[in-house]
Structure 1
Amino acid sequence: MLARQRQAAILERVRATGGVRVTELAAEFCVSDMTIRRDLETLHEQGLLAKVHGGATVAGSTDEPGFRAKSVRESAEKAAIATRAARLVRPGGAVALSAGTTTAELARRLVDVPGLTVVTNSLPVAEILHVGGRPDQTVVLTGGVRTPSDALVGPLAVSAIGALHLDLLFLGVHGISERAGFTTPNLMEADTDRALVAAADRLVVLADHTKWGTVGISSIVPLDAADVLITDDQLAPDARRVLGEKVGELVIVGTTGRATAEAAE
């Protein structure tokens, strides 16, 4: 296949799915990762797609990104955050995982936890645990209306969550700011996330450094509602200061998996 033909196929894939990974494209087209990166660079320079860490997404989209598009962004940071979050889960516990690519990474690390009950409004999270999880695990999918990010939201989801009592909620968010708190671009998803917060004894927010300063249209909860916030070591100093003062415990994780905790006064 000529480079121009391969680039046209890549662009078609991005437009159809919202995002692609370098490794997947390299395997599909039987070329090196470097060749795919050059293809993506060419398409990026033409303004046809947006390069992100590990892949590419649709250029200039103002809509809520799809799950696949978001999954190629900050993948190393998300993996480190998820690895640290998994240490909080105990066998036999009842936890909730909200929708999101970081919570999906966490789900992959929970498949071997015995006796675990997981409540989720995320189709990818439910699939990961259904396919790879232990037979003694229980997965509860809330039901509801599907969003572009593969979350189930709305009155059905809120009603199902309202009858539950959970040990921990692992919450993925679209944005974090001092004024707006933890936010999402979807109004119904905010309602569903608030129901999950109310059902859980402890709230653990999972968010990489790019979420700081981003404000979605709807606030979920203020910063001080989080018992723990796990993020990565590229978080800016001013953000560390604000979050260290607001959240119960700020955990900064390096891409090597090492972490430090900064407890609030």
Structure 2
Amino acid sequence: MLAAQRQERILEQLRRTGGVRVADLVESLAVSDMTVRRDLDALESRGALRKVHGGAVATARTEEPGFEAKSARHEDEKHAIARAVAGLVVPHSAVGLSAGTTTATVARYLVDVPGLTVVTNSLHVAEVFHRAARPDRTVALTGGFRTPSDALVGPLALASIRGLNLDTLVLGVHGMHERAGFTTPNLTEAETDRALVESTATLVVAADHSKWGTVGLSTIAPLERCDVLVTDSGIGAQARTALAERVGRLEIAEVRAGERRAGA
């Protein structure tokens, strides 16, 4: 087994259990103690885990890249997911969109859905709908303090959201994990997202395959709270099984590289 294959096996176990023991890895991978420790060193240097006595644990991320940095990642996957999510939104309904690059992409596919009332705490989502002005649509932007992902959070955002009754919420997340659920590294953004989740009848989570196994500092909601999870065809087989057992419905969007994108 190649080093990259061993390390992926180690990460997969971390995603399932949150921790690994060197002795167990030696047995399951059929390699030496030193080989396992070198693999753990390599994964720790990438920030994928934290070594502890006798093994390693998954790391909880507390740093969040800015919106522009995240926008360039997994673009084809985000567009595939956005197309699928747009097909779930009913015309003339009330829909919420949280902040994030994936939800901003979803907004580009929702601009032609008639009669929507849109609630968002994302400056980028609001701008997408503003540029595509339609007389049959209402867009409400919460107030609040701005985070690195250009989300509006804090008491003003919470006051705007509480008491709302949304038909559908499209939630973007920083990570998803069997134990930790849907997470974000930003504590105040997590609080705002939780308020959005509480306000909706149907929760749709839009997350590309790279989010699986990532654990942010704060949990937004458990996997079981999600009615529909839309991810892309890059998601691994074990992740598909774990998610299908926990979310209401798992939808896999097929990625077609290089195709024309909404608004392009």
Q: TM-score range by the shorter chain?
A: 0.7 to 0.9
- 2: distance between equivalents of 1:114 and 1:244? 31
Equivalent residue letter for 1:185: P
- Aligned match of 2:141: 141
- Aligned match of 1:97: 97
- Aligned match of 2:231: 231
Secondary structure of 1:246's counterpart equals coil
Secondary structure of 1:203's counterpart equals strand
> Residues 180-226 of structure 1, C-alpha deviation per residue, up to 9 Å, x if partnerless?
00000100000000000010001000000000010000000000000
Would you say the 8 A contact 1:112–1:133 is kept in 2? no
- Aligned match of 2:252: 252
TM-aligned CA deviation for residue 133 of structure 1: 3.4
Alignment coverage as a number of residue pairs: 197
Say whether 1:118 aligns with 2:118.
Answer: yes
Secondary structure of 2:196's counterpart equals helix
- Aligned match of 2:81: 81
Query: What does 1:203-242 correspond to in 2, within 5 Å?
Result: 203-242=203-242
- Aligned match of 1:43: none
Say whether 1:202 aligns with 2:191.
Answer: no
Equivalent residue letter for 1:120: T
TM-aligned CA deviation for residue 174 of structure 1: 0.1
Query: What does 1:34-183 correspond to in 2, within 5 Å?
Result: 63-183=63-183
Would you say the 8 A contact 1:82–1:105 is kept in 2? yes
Would you say the 8 A contact 2:76–2:256 is kept in 1? no
Q: Higher RCO, 1 or 2 (CA under 8 Å, sep at least 6)?
A: 2
TM-score (norm 1): 0.72
TM-aligned CA deviation for residue 163 of structure 1: 1.8
- 2: distance between equivalents of 1:109 and 1:128? 10
- 1: distance between equivalents of 2:201 and 2:112? 23
Equivalent residue letter for 2:158: V
- 1: distance between equivalents of 2:181 and 2:224? 8
- Aligned match of 1:188: 188
- Aligned match of 1:11: none
Equivalent residue letter for 1:129: F
- Aligned match of 2:15: none
Would you say the 8 A contact 2:98–2:170 is kept in 1? yes
- 1: distance between equivalents of 2:201 and 2:63? 33
Secondary structure of 2:215's counterpart equals coil
> Residues 94-141 of structure 1, C-alpha deviation per residue, up to 9 Å, x if partnerless?
000000111101101111122110000000000000111312110000
Identity %: 64
TM-aligned CA deviation for residue 77 of structure 1: 0.2
TM-score (norm 2): 0.73
- 1: distance between equivalents of 2:193 and 2:224? 16
TM-aligned CA deviation for residue 256 of structure 1: 3.3
